[in-house]
Amino acid sequence: MIDLQRSREEIDKIDAKMVELFEQRMKISQNVAEYKINTGKPVLDREREKQKLDSVEKLARTEYNGQAVRELFSQIMSMSRKLQYTMMNYNQASEFHKITEIPKNNETKIVYFGTKGSYSEQAMEEYFGTDITSFGASSFYEVMSKVSNGEADYGVLPIENTTTGGITDIYDLLVEFDNYIVAEQVLKVDQALLSLSGTNLSEIRTVYSHPQGILQSRKFLEQYPNIKTVEFGSTAGCAKKVLEDGDKTQAAIASIRAASTYGLEVLASNINYEEVNSTRFIIITKQRQFCEGSNKMSICFTLPHESGSLYNMLSHIIFNNLNMSKIESRPIPGKKFEYRFFVDFDGCIEEASVINTLRGIEAEALDIKILGNYIGVDL
């Protein structure tokens, strides 16, 4: 019978030799990095790595060991690259500047999605207060545009809901516009069914709301198959429409705040099917800035269309001991089944671990954009 203890001792000796050889290899990798930095060569040489993996795989005596060796050396070379990235200087993070705080006074111009009584307006006031200059916009695109062209210093947009998930249009617009997230605000959302005064629920035939309002109230609406739902702008904009149309067969899904703003009656409150229903709003600006105390990073990147590429990107976050809190994917227009990834992780843009993470992803992804660094709020 095989002596288990003796086998373990032999493995320990082999492991010790492997560690010694690994450290020798990493030291030589530093020399390689210095050469690449001095000559302007990129850290990642995909063709060289492929050739190396092919050659070490052939050294193995069995097919299984060959595949295992290839995987092992993929990880070793990945660790080597990560070490080399720490020796580089430039990265996108250097283009962001720190501010003490976001100004919150009557000279601060803010655009929010929707009209008076909207959840976005409420989120804006909870973050900025009321001593500001603000105005609404009818679409997410318009908010982004007003910030981009300087008509507003900051914009307020919903990006994620605890019931329905991420709002995909916002992710696409963060790529399209050169705007950045500088803060976030979380708002508890209680949807209500609003109508003209004196209306009975049995009279309602059409309900207007933003798609998110309809989705969040889906189970309530399923009880009334005779009611038709229509997507129409912001929730507050729908409340305003019900008032202006003066039609008792119409109702809107919006907030109690909107009911008060437009003098509507609340037919049913808390109709969202999840009791804990909160929306995360982002504060955007066209300035590349971050506030003192920022602890949350948002980035997006696209990848080479090859096996393991997403794993390699996320490994930079793991290697630098950072906590990833969210990942979202969006299809890339004009490309079949290729995606852009949006990732949130903890950290400040000044920290070495974050800088190293960004350097690695920047070097290995097809492209990367820092969407913002800000103070995170727990949902």
* Residue 375 burial class via C-beta count within 10 angstroms: exposed 0-12, middle 13-18, buried 19 and up: middle
pTM: 0.83
Max intra-chain CA distance, the chain: 90
In a domain, residue 243? The reply is yes
Q: Which of 63-72, 289-298, 335-344 has the lowest mean pLDDT?
A: 335-344
pLDDT digits (tens, 9 = 90+) for 201-220: 999 999 999 999 999 999 99
Q: Which domain holds residue 196?
A: 192-268
pLDDT at 14 over 70: yes
User: Is residue 214 domain-resident?
Assistant: yes
Q: What is the mean pLDDT of residues 105-120?
A: 95
In a domain, 348, yes or no: no
What is the average pLDDT value for the chain, to the nearest integer? 92
Q: Is the pLDDT of residue 3 over 90?
A: no
Q: How many CA atoms lie within 13 A of 344 on its CB side?
A: 18
Which of 229, 235, 279, 302 is an active site residue?
279
> pLDDT grade, residue 89 (50/70/90)?
low
Residue 177 lies in a domain: no
Last residue of a domain, one of 268, 286, 315: 268
pLDDT for the residue numbered 197:
94
Is residue 177 part of the annotated active site? The answer reads no
- Residue 29, domain member (yes or no): yes
pLDDT of residue 1: 67
pLDDT tens column, 146-205: 999 999 999 999 999 988 889 999 999 999 999 999 999 999 999 999 999 999 999 999
Of 107-111, 121-125, 159-163, the least confident: 159-163
Domain boundary among 229, 249, 268: 268
Angle in degrees, CA 361, 363, 365, rounded to 5: 60
CATH number reported for the structural domain that contains residue 50 in this entry = 1.20.59.10
**Which tokens hold the place of 77?**
């070379």
Give phi and psi for 257, each to the nearest 5.
-60, -45
Rounded to an integer, the average pLDDT of 331-341 is: 85
Q: Is 206 a catalytic residue?
A: no
pLDDT reading at 91 higher than 70? no
Does residue 130 form part of some domain? no
CATH number for the domain spanning 209: value is 3.40.190.10
Q: Which of 232, 281, 290, 341 is catalytic?
A: 281
Query: Which of 236, 268, 300 delimits the end of a domain?
Result: 268
Q: Where is average pLDDT lowest: 201-205, 262-266, 289-293, 307-311?
A: 307-311
Q: For the chain, how many structural domains are there in total?
A: 2
Q: What is the CA radius of gyration of the chain?
A: 27
Percentage of the chain lying above the pLDDT 70 cut: 98
Asked if residue 320 is part of any domain, the answer here is: no
118, part of any domain: no
